[in-house]
Each structure stands twice: as C-alpha cells, then as structure tokens.
Amino acid sequence: MARAVKRKPKLAVWKFASCDGCQLSLLDCEDELLPLAERIDIAYFPEASRRMLPGPYDLSLVEGSITTPHDAARILRVRRLSRRLVTIGACATAGGIQALRNFADIREFAAAVYPHPEYLKTLATSTAISAHVPVDFELRGCPVDKYQLLEVIKAFLTERKPMIPGHSVCVDCKRRGNVCVMVAHGTPCLGPVTHTGCGAICPSYDRGCYGCFGPVDDANTAAIAREFASLGMVRRDIGRVFQTFNAAAEAFRREAENHAD
C-alpha cells in the first residue's frame, strides 16, 4: 500500500520591534541552514525570501516586542495563524532595551529623537509577546544562541520538549574553568542571577556578566545588589545594572526599582 507523503512542516519568522539579530541567528547557521531547508518549508521569512506562503504555519518564531498599536493588532493575527508560537530573544520575551521607555515619559522620548514626534504612532510601553498572546515557549537571550534556536526548532518539529537548561551563568563559568571575576578581581558580575545560554562569554573575556539572557528563575537579585554595594558601587549605578536588555523582566525590574533615586 502506498504511504502518504508526509508534508513538510511550515515555518514562519516574524519581526516586531527589534534589531534583527535573533532572526539573523538562523541565517548564521552556515552549516545547518541548507539541510534545515530540506526538512522544513521556510514558508514565511521575509528577511531571507521573497516567497511568502499564506498560513497556517506549524511553527512561528517571533522576534521583537510590541511597541505600536499596529503591532499589538498584528500579533493577534500571527497567533491565529500559528499552531505553535515560540518567542526568540530578550525583546520578545521581556520587551528588550526599548522597554526603558516603560520607566520614562514616551512623549519626552519621542521629542528627544524626532523633530516631529506627532508623525509617530507609538505605544507608551514596550512589552513581551506573552503579554498579548499565549506563547508555547520562550527562548532567552540578547541575542539568542543559534544552537539553542536550532534545538527549539527541532524539538517543536518533532513534538518534543526543547532541552534548554535553566541554571545560572555561574554554572557555565565553572564548566569553562574561568576564575570568578567577582571573587578574584572584584568585578561586579550578574552571573549568579542570570539565565544560562551564552556560554559565560563575558567572564571569559575578563568582564562581568551584564545579564543579556535575563533573570534566572528565583534570582536572588537583592543579594547580588548587596554584593555590588560592598564592592563600592553606588546605589544609582546598581539600579542601572538591572536596566538594560531585560529591564522589564520582573526580577530585574523590581531590583532596579529598589535602587531608584
């Protein structure tokens, strides 16, 4: 009996407010991209292709945060078209660096950059995709790690759970055999409270982790903030450490608030 030919799963890649770095991670898979394209149908990926097939899609990768009324409506449509929806990167999972507007006056921000702010249609906040629609998995990082991204794609296409660990950067640092930059050199480092994924790059380059993968679950940010203070950092500088690419992630947002002027 003839077996039914299995349809290739359809992948879509969407962009909201972002730098494009996370979707570029897919094009940076120089050895894996062409084999991947044989196994799946890259049905919608405007950065890479003029061919744009209509939905529904088996898997949507969503990059970027929601910052405009237009995008707040568009994400609802993307969700309806997607059987599974995975958000990739700090913008999509936590609002990104542009979420610093959440703590400022958006009108003042707009006036500081544009001579005619009235031409802009923008929201007062930058928010994670999960604040707008249900999300099946969140992959952290600013940017995401391309091997983790490949793992997530493979996992969803084979209907299994992605094997993405959730420990802190400290564990990776020990594995690499790094000397602790905070203990040995007194360099402030967010490694103890930051989600794994980067491979502990910063301490490997003689600097402290700056938290681009966002807070680990149950991050004890108060303890690390006390440690920073004992290293001589002033209150305001400590607050700003938590206000970068994951400023709106709950644990970092709260700790920054505790150090507000």
Partner 1 sequence: MPTKTVKVDYIARVEGESSLKLKIRDGLVEDVRLSIFEPPRFFEALLRGRKFSEVLDIVARICGICPIAYQMSAVAAIENLLGIEVDGPIHALRRLLYCGEWIESHSLHIAMLHAPDFLGYPDAMAMARDHGDAVQRALALKKTGNALLRLLGGREIHPVNVRVGGFYRVPSRAEFEPIVEPLKQACDLAIQTLRWVATFPFPDCTRDYEFVALRHPDEYPMNRGRIVSSAGLDIAPAEYETEFLERQVPYSTALHSVLKQRGAYLVGPMARYALNRGRLPPDICALADEVGLEPVCRNPFRSILVRAVEVIFACGEALRLIENYKRPARPFEPAEPRAGVGYGCTEAPRGILYHRYRLDAEGTIEAASLVPPTSQNQGIIEEDVRQVAAASLDLPEDALQAACEQSIRNHDPCISCAAHFLTLHVDRT
Contact 255, 243 (CB under 8 A): no
Per-residue mark of binding to partner 1, 224-253 (x: CB under 8 A):
-------------x--x---xx--------
Decide: is 255 part of the binding site for partner 1 (CB under 8 A): no
Decide: is 179 part of the binding site for partner 1 (CB under 8 A): no
Instruction: Give CA–CA dist 136/87, Å, rounded.
Output: 8
**Residue-wise DSSP of 184-214:** HH-----GGGBBS-S-SHHHHTTS----TT-
Closest Cα to residue 196, out of 219, 230, 179?
Answer: 219
Decide: is 143 part of the binding site for partner 1 (CB under 8 A): yes
Query: Which residue, 119 or 134, has its beta carbon nearer to partner 1?
Result: 119
Neighbours of 13 (CB within 10 A): 22
From candidates 55, 79, 110, 151, binder to partner 1 by CB under 8 A: 110
The count of residues in the chain is 261
Query: Which residue, 42 or 225, has its beta carbon nearer to partner 1?
Result: 42
Helix axes 250-258, 221-230, angle to 10 degrees: 40
Residues ≥6 apart with Cβ < 8 Å to 44: 10, 11, 12, 13, 14, 52, 53, 55, 57
Decide: is 96 part of the binding site for partner 1 (CB under 8 A): yes
Residues in contact with partner 1, counted by CB under 8 A, come to a total of 64
Which neighbouring-strand residues pair with 66?
A: 127
Query: Which residue, 52 or 223, has its beta carbon nearer to partner 1?
Result: 52
Query: Which residue, 211 or 215, has its beta carbon nearer to partner 1?
Result: 211
From candidates 12, 13, 26, 42, binder to partner 1 by CB under 8 A: 42
Distances (CA, A) of 214 to 29, 36, 184, 222: 24, 29, 24, 15
Decide: is 140 part of the binding site for partner 1 (CB under 8 A): no
From candidates 8, 37, 133, 227, binder to partner 1 by CB under 8 A: 37
Query: Which residues make up the interface to partner 1 (CB under 8 A)?
Result: 15-25, 27-28, 30-31, 33-34, 37, 42, 45-52, 67-68, 70-71, 96-98, 100-101, 104, 108-110, 112-116, 119-120, 122, 126, 142-143, 198, 201-202, 204-207, 210, 212, 237, 240, 244-245
